[in-house]
Amino acid sequence: MEIKRKLKKFAGKARKAFVKFLDVMSDNRILIALILTFSFSIAILIRITPMRWGVYLNEFDPYYEYYLAERIIEKSDGNIFKGIAWWFNWWFEPSPKPKDTLF
């Protein structure tokens, strides 16, 4: 009987705390602040997850993009299409590959 009474008392306190929490959360500013904080925390955790395996530069590195933009301008000689053609040929061979090297 003692345990039953304590559980009822705890359930009543928990219910009151939950109702109070819902009452406080009805204020839009607090709800928006909590959502933004949660979103920011998740974003930070996602961004730092690769640090487990080491910090390396990847293909989304802005310095690499800057380097490519400089090379395209350098190779263009005043004609941007020449620079883009240089970049395209840098990644893809201009002639088709033989069938035996495709697979």
Domain boundaries, the chain: 2-53, 62-101
Q: Provide the residue type at 73 as one letter.
A: I
Burial class (CB in 10 A: 0-12, 13-18, 19+), 44: exposed
For tokens 């080491």, name the residue: 54
pTM of the model: 0.37
- Check if the beta carbon of residue 96 is closer than 8 Å to that of residue 80: no
φ/ψ of 47, rounded to 5, equals -70, -35
Q: How far apart are CA 13 and CA 19, in angstroms?
A: 10
Average pLDDT, the chain: 79
pLDDT in tens, 24-41: 777 788 888 888 999 999
